[in-house]
Amino acid sequence: MSKKKIKTALISVFDKTGLEPLIDVLVGHGIELYSTGGTETFIRSLGFDVNAVEDLTGYPSILGGRVKTLHPKVFGGILNRSQVESDLSELQQFEIPALDLIVVDLYPFEKTIAGNATESEIIEKIDIGGIALIRAAAKNFQDVFCISNKEDYASFINIFKLFDGAPDLDTRKEFAVKAFHTSSHYDAAIFNHFDTKEDHLKLSIEDSHALRYGENPHQKGYFFGDLDELLDQVHGKAISYNNLLDIDSAVNLMLEFYDGKPAFGILKHNNACGFAVRDSLSAAYADALIADPVSAFGGVLICNKILDLETAKAIHELFCEVVIAPDYEVEALELLKRKKNRILLIQKETSLPTKTIRTCLNGYLVQDKDLKTDKIEDLQTVTKKEPSASEVDDLIFASKICKHTKSNTIILAKEQQLLASGTGQTSRVDALHQSINKAKSFGFSLNEAVMSSDAFFPFPDCVEIANNEGIKAVIQPGGSIKDSDSINYCDENNITMVFTGIRHFKH
């Protein structure tokens, strides 16, 4: 049995949007309708006949509407198997009509909890009858067609007409899968709202986007989430998997500077290769770029102010994959659009997740996101020499970048400019050597620069190497059993060092 003629339909929806065209088609093809409450009233308002479910069951809607369809005459009509003689016999015995099409949506639970609803209002938006109808219809897709989302009305109408009112099995199964998604997503939302222990992981994300490929062309890739809530793409090619990783790193880094003076960052492979804070956006971009113009090629650019024409002219000379800004001056946007593949994004104000999730072995790792930003009040001077006001500013600046750079990392900075970073090294000494060599290769002097480390120094070797290059201020978490060795070296060489007490590993 592949095709199944639809002769009867049960329709019960909370949201009536888009329902009228569906009713028109069903009535036009002689489908017998059953309905409840507000949907029944709506259908009658269109001038169509409809059977009240309470007439079928012999029971009215009770308990303030909590119980409407939970009855054997309803679920028997859905769950009967047309190929099982005993099922058909029982339908006849108990005068139960077979129901071929179920059109049901669910109370808007997620919309309710997103508002200022009370707990009693939230509880009343936990659907019981609707979820049961959807699951029953989806389970019996061999005989029943289930529509669980108003977004599928138009698609169903086309299918209904294509198959002359008798959709095939594959299509019924396809819609059953959608129905199971609806029910599982709904249950996950309810559980996650009421769960306070956080010792279970239930993820259900309705928005999905197929990407060109994953990290490499031979890998499939998908993004799950509502990207439009955070970013408006105003120009350019489709965003790739790797673009998204860089955009994520860029957005999270710039949030540390979002409300301050003009700041500009350039990222490559999830790490900042250039960053500066200046009095103008164009100056911030220029000083971010000179930190590493080689790595900036093909990078992701981000700023915290409206992108002006002067800055756009400078950016236009660089090949970059993505530009992110709170907005663009009209002329700046038109200029940047001249490169047809350049991705231009407007970042909107929205909340980001407070947890991070990643696969690990045969499971998942979940943790609180590192939302701790080192501030002046967190700094503990552990050396005899106190940092100057300008050094404190640079130390905080370097620490913010360090927090968002792959471990092991060392950040070198001066006058609110990233000079160089050592990223993702297996030893802190290697990270320091990498950052020193990189800074020198682009002509920077490290005299009076500051150094930030994402974790403590187990030995005094890093402060010794830094001192030999002219670095005179250091910020690190502290916590090593040999902290005193590094402190003593700093005291002996007139270096100021502050502890934050907070480690910022990023793997």
Q: Is the pLDDT score of 67 beyond 90? A: no
Alpha carbons 300 and 444: distance in angstroms, whole number: 23
| 134 pLDDT more than 80 | yes
Burial per residue of 451-481, b for 16 or more beta-carbon CB atoms within 10 angstroms, e otherwise: bbbbbbbbebbbbebbbebebbbbbbbbeee
Q: How many CA atoms lie within 13 A of 258 on its CB side?
A: 15
Q: What is the pLDDT of residue 61?
A: 78
CB atoms within 10 A of CB 360: 9
Cis amide bond preceding 140, omega within 30: no
Cross-strand pairs, 268: 271
pTM equals 0.87
What is the sign, positive or negative, of the torsion defined by CA atoms of 87, 92, 93, 97?
Answer: positive
Give yes or no for residue 62 having a pLDDT over 80: no
Out of 125, 139, 181, 339, the active site residue is: 139
**What amino acid is encoded at 46 in this protein?**
L
Active-site option among 185, 269, 313, 316:
269
Give the CA distances from residue 204 to residues 109, 113, 180, 185, in Å, rounded to whole numbers and listed in that order.
Answer: 14, 16, 12, 5
Question: Which residue from 452, 446, 439 is spatially nearest to 387, judged by alpha carbons?
Answer: 452
For residue 41, is pLDDT > 80?
yes
pLDDT 10s digits, 274-311: 999 999 999 999 999 999 999 999 999 999 999 999 99
Residue-wise pLDDT for 444-458, tens only, equals 999 999 999 999 999
pLDDT of residue 1: 54
Annotation says 269 is catalytic:
yes
pLDDT of residue 34: 94
pLDDT band at 115 (very low <50, low <70, confident <90, very high): confident
Tell me if residue 181 is catalytic. Answer: no
- Averaged pLDDT for residues 260-273: 96
203-232 confidence digits (pLDDT tens): 888 888 999 999 999 999 999 999 999 999
Who contacts 309 (Cβ-Cβ below 8 Å, separation ≥6)?
329, 331, 332, 335
